[in-house]
Chain A
Amino acid sequence: KQEVTQIPAALSVPEGENLVLNCSFTDSAIYNLQWFRQDPGKGLTSLLLIQSSQREQTSGRLNASLDKSSGRSTLYIAASQPGDSATYLCAVDPWTYKYIFGTGTRLKVLA
């Protein structure tokens, strides 16, 4: 059964630091992987979607990579800002519409 893990569960960094969030999955047979942001009390906002045939996607200060063979994805945030403080979730689509989410990394960027 596919399992998705995000480590660490929480992270605090000073403003301006570059940081990497990790997402691991146990079964490499995935169709795509998505990264989301969730603010307290709010819904999820899609950040980046990587198809299984792709290695990375970029949007502004965000870059997501995918290595299916090792079961890993990383979300790189450049020059972090206090407004980046949120919980970041990854989810894999195993070709069956039964999306599996990680439990998230709670990020706090200190001003």
Chain B
Amino acid sequence: EAQVTQNPRYLITVTGKKLTVTCSQNMNHEYMSWYRQDPGLGLRQIYYSMNVEVTDKGDVPEGYKVSRKEKRNFPLILESPSPNQTSLYFCASISGSYEQYFGPGTRLTVT
């Protein structure tokens, strides 16, 4: 089954404790992206990657890092999480016909 998986689905952590949210797709897509979704602000792009070792900033990259060492994986790293990064995070991959496939989301709470 074609899918995008994210782990963990739910995470509660404390300010400053480094964390990684994993994202994996099994569709051999070159393009992947991370979004955060906040009430009243909609989905905003954090980072995107056009292929292995090729990444670029989206609209809200501050406080986040990404890496793309393999085509299927695109982890999101929060080196020093802060309460304003409490949000719902989505990973997505895009097919050659430009259809976006989204993961189920990761709900992060930073206290």
Contact = CB atoms under 8 A, between A and B. Distances in A.
B43 A43 contact: no
Chain B: number of interface residues, binned into ranges: 20 to 34
A75 interface: no
Given A32-B98, A98-B48, A42 B43 contact: no
Contact of A43 (B31, B42, B102): B102
Contacts of B98: 31-32, 34, 49, 51, 93
B42 A102 contact: yes
Contacts of A101: 35, 42-44
B97 A49 contact: yes
A34 B98 CA distance: 9
Contact of B102 (A32, A45, A93): A45
A99 B99 contact: no
Nearest to A102: B42
